[in-house]
Amino acid sequence: MNITFRQLEVFEAVARLLSYTRASKELHLSQPAVSMQIKQLEENTGLPLFEQLGRKIYLTEAGREMHHYCRSISQQLEEAEEVLGQLKGLKTGRLEVTVATTANAFATQMLAMFSKQHEGVTISLDVTNRERLLHQLAENEKDIAIMGRPPEDAELVTEVFADNPLVVVAAPDHPLVKEQSIPLYMLQDQTFVVREQGSGTRTAMQRFFSEHEMTITSSMEMNENEAIKQSVQAGMGLGVVSIHTIELELETKRLTILNVENFPIMRHWYLVHRKDKRLSPIAQAFCQFVLSKANEFVKVDYML
């Protein structure tokens, strides 16, 4: 059989509409051109595909079979077109990611690796606190966010991908470092350096202490984990930070995790996007990447 796609396309329209006139209108062809394509197709198949009874045309048995295969061929073609389109989308395009300040270190490494694998893609990374990040999602400014658990919201799709333990850190010469096990109430006599309002870490810390009916004293408020770590090292107080922000300080022994009762506060890291956002192929690929590579980038084997 020497069938062409054009013949199949014309046949599909005539078979669906059961009218040469309507098919020719839909395809923007003259009626003789439509009849010609059908005639050639019938010659190619060696069987009549339509029969005319009065003014109406009907599919013959061969026509019905042909129509069935014709539909599955066009579905396959559409699928092929979509897959190829997605492949094109993975080679170019733009990805807008926003990450919580606290996730900055591992998220930047993840993005660096992802970007090496997708060189034609432009990636924009915004690092900000939880409150600002929720605002960006609400305003549909970003494709994907990496953050702590977002509020229960029917408008957001969330997927957890790693633990995020919050620990109490102190300078290595802090008197509490010598203690093997520190009862929670002892923190009441301590001074803390805390994150700014709007930080997820701060909210989690406040919630934790209020659940344990404790008020803690803070000496200073800072909007960066870096600043908190510096101040704690300088002996200005204790800090409650995500373990993912202190990898280097633990290695170089510039900070120590205190063994406080009921700690760590166990939070989690989430991939978040708006439900109504049609994720581009590259954004979908990034989500897959984060979910499958999280273990490599987000360290979990700390001694707590």
Residues that bind ligand PGA (CB under 6 A): 100-102, 129-130, 147-148, 195, 199-201
Q: Which is nearer to ligand PGA, 16 or 132 (CB)?
A: 132
Nearer Cβ to ligand PGA, position 26 or 224? 224
Least distance in angstroms from the C-beta of 23 to ligand PGA: 57
Of 247, 206, 256, residue with least CA distance to 108: 247
Question: What's the one-letter identity of residue 115?
Answer: S
Q: Cβ 278 to ligand PGA, closest distance in Å?
A: 25
Please give the structure tokens belonging to residue 274.
């708006």
Any residues with CB less than 8 A from the CB of 262 and at least 6 apart, and which? Answer: 184, 208, 212
Q: Which two tokens stand for residue 206?
A: 């406040």
Least distance (Å) from ligand PGA to the CB of residue 152? 15
Structure tokens at 284: 């979908």
How many residues are present in the chain? Answer: 304
**Measured at CB, which residue is nearest to ligand PGA?**
200
The CB-of-219 to ligand PGA minimum distance in angstroms stands at 19
Between 70 and 133, CB nearer to ligand PGA: 133
**Single-letter code of the amino acid located at 159:** E
What token pair was written down for 47? 């069987």
Q: Residue 59 phi/psi, 5° resolution? A: -80, 140
**Is the CB of 41 or the CB of 194 nearer to ligand PGA?**
194
281-297 helix and 104-117 helix, angle to the nearest 10 degrees: 120
Nearer to ligand PGA, 68 or 299 (CB): 299
What's the CA gap between 92 and 30, in Å, rounded? 41
DSSP-assigned beta bridge partners for residue 156 = 274
Would you say 201 or 231 has its CB closer to ligand PGA?
A: 201
**Per-residue tokens: 292:** 């499958």
Shortest Å, Cβ 158 to ligand PGA: 12
